[in-house]
């Protein structure tokens, strides 16, 4: 299962539409999250799927959603 709740769906939409990440990149990070139980934004950065500026945009977006 790709997304386990509505907030994941919104977050994945943001990653695809705003940061233009591929479904494959997102799927890799989601698999890593299941294995390592880490926060998805940090996993995206750790595995080189987003740069530091994109990571900041992710945190800004997440803060706006809270």
- Look at the chain and report how many structural domains it folds into: 1
Q: Is 26 inside a domain boundary?
A: yes
Q: Is 48 inside a domain boundary?
A: yes
Q: Is 1 inside a domain boundary?
A: no
pTM above 0.75, yes or no: yes
Q: Is the dihedral of CA 40, 45, 49, 54 positive or negative?
A: positive
Q: Which domain range does residue 43 map to?
A: 6-65
Please tell me whether residue 59 adopts helix, strand or coil conformation: helix
pLDDT per residue rounded down to tens, the chain (66 residues): 344 577 788 999 999 999 999 999 999 999 988 888 889 999 999 999 999 999 999 999 999 988
- Angle, CA 37 vertex, CA 30 and CA 23 arms, to 5°: 5
Q: Is 23 inside a domain boundary?
A: yes
Q: Is 39 inside a domain boundary?
A: yes
Q: Is 56 inside a domain boundary?
A: yes
């Amino acid at each position: 299962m790709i997304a386990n709740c509505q907030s994941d769906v919104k977050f994945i939409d943001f990653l695809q539409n705003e940061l233009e990440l591929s479904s494959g990149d997102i799927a890799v990070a989601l698999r890593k999250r299941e294995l390592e139980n880490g926060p998805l934004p940090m996993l995206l950065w750790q595995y080189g799927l987003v740069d530091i500026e994109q990571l900041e945009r992710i945190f800004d977006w997440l803060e706006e959603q809270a």
